[in-house]
Amino acid sequence: CILSTPERPANLACPSRSLAATCDKYNSALNPDGSRVAMFEDCYEMCKPSFCCIHDSKSVEYSPSCSSEPNCPLYFPCYIIWWKLHDTIGPANFLRVSQREPFYETVDFNYILTDLNLDIPFFQQLFGHHFDQEIDGDGNEPTNELLEDPANW
């Protein structure tokens, strides 16, 4: 892990040491309280800071890419979250997060919706990275209408 220093700044922090175990959907290990170690919501929370690693948006402010960050490769277990958040029925905003597997059994769609409303930087990353033009905050944010327009697919 690359720790940030004045000589070599790292804007993306080191991931948790438990990231791989938490995001491994085949990990059936249990915590002392009987809950699974590997759970979607825990993995999602650990991975959100690294979403900027997986795209090459030209946006500088709204949804900037951080794919050249030295710590990005350490977040490779997050692919399962990024894949699931792009598992849509049509446009990007038609998320489909439920799945009949133990890793996903506690996923509550309302949890994701609430989080997207509260964590504006992550919302901007998730939906804004699809657009190369700079989104300026003057009504150019990705709305449902913009995402659902077939011209933007």
91, pLDDT greater than 80 = no
Most confident of 7-11, 134-138, 143-147: 7-11
| 15, 75 contact by CB (below 8 A) | yes
Residues in the chain: 153
DSSP state string for the chain: -----SSS--SSPPPPTTHHHHH-TT---B-TTS-BS--HHHHHHHHGGGGGGG-----SSSS---TT-TTGGGGGGGHHHHHHHT-BSSSTTSB----SSGGGTT--HHHHHHHHHH-HHHHHHHHHTT--SPP-SSS-S--HHHHH-GGG-
Q: How far apart are CA 44 and CA 77, in angstroms?
A: 11
Tell me which of 8 and 110 has the higher pLDDT: 110
Q: How confident is the model at residue 152 (pLDDT cuts 50, 70, 90)?
A: low
Mean pLDDT of 63-67: 90
CA distances from residue 72 to 55, 99, 114, 127 in whole angstroms, order as listed: 11, 27, 26, 20
Residue 58 pLDDT: 81
| 128, 135 contact by CB (below 8 A) | yes
Residue 131 pLDDT: 67
